[in-house]
Structure 1
Amino acid sequence: LAYFVHGEGNRSVVSLIVPVEIQNLPSKKILLLPQSPQAQISLRGPSHILSEVARTPYSFKIRIPEEAGNRYETRLQAASLSIPPSVEVTRIDPPQITFVFDNLIEKQLQVEVPRIGSLKKDYRLSEIIAEPATVTARGPQTELDSLTTVNTEQVDLRAITSSQILDLQLELTGKFVEFSPKTVTVNVNVRALTRERRYSGLPVVVLGKDLTEKWEPVPKTVELELSGPRPLVQALDAEEIQVSVEVPTDFVSKVSEDAGYLEKARLPVRVQLPPKVEVVQVNPKEVKLRRESSATTAAQKNTAAQKNAAAQKSK
């Protein structure tokens, strides 16, 4: 940044902002103050030369003595700028500069995951695990000496209803501290409270390929006891549960060959449920089958017998 003031004749005055560079900062030191060292200089000289000087990137070059410790004050010397002899440095502001250093250290910090709120009543938090569990912090000794942990971004538990994997930034603990890595993976393991529930009168559906006859189960309904996450089980309607038996492909031929097979055969009851919901008990576990036409005939005979009995009583 340059400011020109034209004077008499062919001479001018210019002001420049010049950075201050430390050439030999030890690898085990870190500069705390000033964070962006610079100074304003005023120059007087021929206008055409000052125009060229204003476009040249000058800087004060500072070398720190080994015995300087963590504080070093030095004067800014115009001679270190290598400005053309025809140009006069009339002012340096500030004329001197004080550097504040600290020891640069590395330290392992434990990662902690802060939380907001709590889970809904039907859920419990099993654990929160950060990977990696520790990170490397690099920075001034004065900032790191008192630190043993570092926080991630907060995890809001109020909206969580299942286990999640989150990539979270580490929370900055000072102006000069850097972390490696800068983010961690956080596993939030959540489990739903379980509940058992009983259903009765669930109809059994008969399934099978290429059925030439219609069959009905005996009994036609079953009782069922389920277990699973409380929110799922509480919201599960009986209509959403499918109970069925599968008729084997050779079932009809076996019935034809063996007159007693139909009475002896038992088919396992199958239950189709939403994920995470399990069957505790089904009663009965197996059912028999009978031809639907036979059932209809039996019903008709029973109805006829009842009518006949009623007619006899009325006589």
Structure 2
Amino acid sequence: MKVMLQWIATNSPLMVLALILAILAWVVAIEEADPTVEQRYPQEIPITPSELPEGMTIVGDFNHDVQITVRAPRSVFNSIKTDDFTVTVDLTSLDSGVHRVPVQCELAKNPSRIIRVEPDHVTVKLEPQVEQVMPVRVQLKGEPTLGYVARTPVVTPSQVTMIGPSSYVSRVLEIVAQVSVQDTTADVEGQFKLSPQDAEGQSVPYVELQPKEAHVYVPIELSVYYAHLVIKVTLEGQITPGYRITDISVEPPTVTVFGVPSVINALPAYIETEPINLEGAQSDIVERPVLKVPPNVSIAMDEQPVVRVSIEPIQSSLTVEVVPQLQGLEAGFTATVSPETVEVILSGPLPLLDALETKDVRVVLDLYGLPGGTHQIEPEVVVPEGVKAQSTLPATVQVEIKASPTFTPPITPTMTITGTESPVEPTAEPTEESTVAPTPEPAIEPTIEPTVGPALRSTTEPAPVADGVSPSVVTRSCGIWRSPLSKLTAEGFPLRCTRTAYR
């Protein structure tokens, strides 16, 4: 035991040093895993004032914020929220006047420490809070329409209570409700906001009104010296047949007149215009007609009213029967349409429909790209401008497309033969159609120009003949020409072979 105690006493400094080093190593390890940071919190924190002394109020708006610098482990700093801060100023012991109050700040996060608060003091002005009752005055803005007058407004409630700092409440001269009656001809009624105003008509701040709004009614009446008369338009003449009047508008629709009350009260409720001529009209008419003003009455306006008479064609319908036209049919095909005619129902202005002819309406069947077979095609109707095709009967047309039968022979050589016969005595050659005695044929030196051309349609051309010789036909087949007459006695002439071709 003695030896052990002696060993401990001898090595105690080393043991203490080892403990310190272990603690230091632990701290270093913790610091490396979650280092301590000192940063400003990214958001500003609002200051909350404490309760005010009895009978006192803050002058102005208390809207103060602070920025706070915090020292804490990174994980703790990242977890801080604005609600974790409590920032206040203590106003409980202050009296009237201007005060510079320190800011108190707390953070409900550990381990952490508040390093700095900016600003650390705020200035607050306190004054006694007073209440005062004051009547409400209605302030009318603008003027009613000419001939109308605004009568005395009625406001409810007639007075309100003001609450605020004594220095500001004392500046209030009146409580005003502003109501606009500009260009109105009817009574004005509604809820309007109240405003405390000073002697210069400016709104006084920091004064609260109870209530904040009032109900205002402003009667608007017609003056006994004025009257509003409806403008009655007078028309004459007839518009073109097939057209109709759709609307008659007047801008403005009424006119204000003035005069002595006895004359004004005797007026009818309208005033007429001079006649507007509509004879033969086919479109809108816009005029400024003169008004028939009664005697001893004047018009309270600078310009005459504008009258617009709207005229448009009468809409009608018409049914026409049209033979469809084929479009886009491929070569080598034929098409059969069923039914052969289509009824088209048209609508549009009556004058256009009356002047319409059958040739003006086309029904087209588009067959482009369609193969052989039976198809149901929807007709496309082409009509003049202003006319509309409402529908077709039937709605679809049956078209049967077939390949057309054709004969295409093989390509054969085409020859041109030119020859001249010497004058010989014609003799008939015994045939079924001729009794002319045959004579020896003169030698002919034909020129043969063989060509290979496209297949053409078969035609036959008679050869020229001499006087007194029976007509004959010279034909050519497969490059060989022949003639029913072996000899000719007339003057020699060129021989022409008939052309037999195919298409």
* TM value normalised by structure 2: 0.35
Q: How does 1:183-202 map to 2 (within 5 A)?
A: 183-194=213-224
Q: Does 1:236 align with 2:263?
A: no
**How far did 1:86 drift?**
3.5
1:69 corresponds to which residue? 96
Q: 1:159 aligns with which of 159, 183, 189?
A: 183
Spell out, residue by residue over 1:106-125, the C-alpha distance to the aligned partner (whole angstroms, 9 max, x if none).
22222122223333453333
Q: Does 1:52 align with 2:79?
A: yes
2:116 corresponds to which residue? 91
Q: 2:164 aligns with which of 130, 135, 139?
A: 139
**How far did 1:43 drift?**
0.8
**How far did 1:92 drift?**
1.3
Which residue identity is paired with 1:39? V
Q: How does 1:77-226 map to 2 (within 5 A)?
A: 77-78=104-105, 81-84=106-109, 86-156=111-181, 158-171=182-195, 173-194=203-224
> How many residues are aligned here?
201
Spell out, residue by residue over 1:208-236, the C-alpha distance to the aligned partner (whole angstroms, 9 max, x if none).
xxxxxxxxxxxxxxxxxxxx999786452
Give the match's secondary structure for 1:152: strand
**How far did 1:150 drift?**
1.6
Which residue identity is paired with 1:164? V
Greater helix proportion: 1
**Aligned CA distance change for structure 1 residues 127 and 88 (closer, same or farther; 3 Å):** same
1:35 corresponds to which residue? 62
Percent of pairs with identical residues: 16
Which residue identity is paired with 2:90? R
Give the match's secondary structure for 1:109: strand
1:23 corresponds to which residue? 50
Residues of 2 paired with 1:32 and 1:187: CA distance?
Answer: 35
Aligned partners of 1:72 and 1:99 also within 8 Å: yes
* TM value normalised by structure 1: 0.53
5+ long unaligned stretches in structure 2: 1-30, 197-202, 228-260, 273-503
**Aligned CA distance change for structure 1 residues 34 and 40 (closer, same or farther; 3 Å):** farther
Aligned partners of 1:34 and 1:99 also within 8 Å: no
Find the structure with the greater CA-based Rg.
2
**How far did 1:10 drift?**
0.8
Residues of 2 paired with 1:138 and 1:114: CA distance?
Answer: 22
**Aligned CA distance change for structure 1 residues 195 and 52 (closer, same or farther; 3 Å):** closer
Which contiguous aligned blocks of 4+ residues in structure 1 show a shift greater than 6 angstroms? 228-232
Residues of 1 paired with 2:262 and 2:160: CA distance?
Answer: 36
**Aligned CA distance change for structure 1 residues 10 and 238 (closer, same or farther; 3 Å):** closer
1:266 corresponds to which residue? none
Which residue identity is paired with 2:56? K
Aligned partners of 1:33 and 1:99 also within 8 Å: no
Residues of 1 paired with 2:218 and 2:171: CA distance?
Answer: 29
Which residue identity is paired with 2:221? R
Residues of 2 paired with 1:67 and 1:101: CA distance?
Answer: 8
**Aligned CA distance change for structure 1 residues 136 and 235 (closer, same or farther; 3 Å):** farther
Which residue identity is paired with 2:183? A
Residues of 1 paired with 2:270 and 2:100: CA distance?
Answer: 80
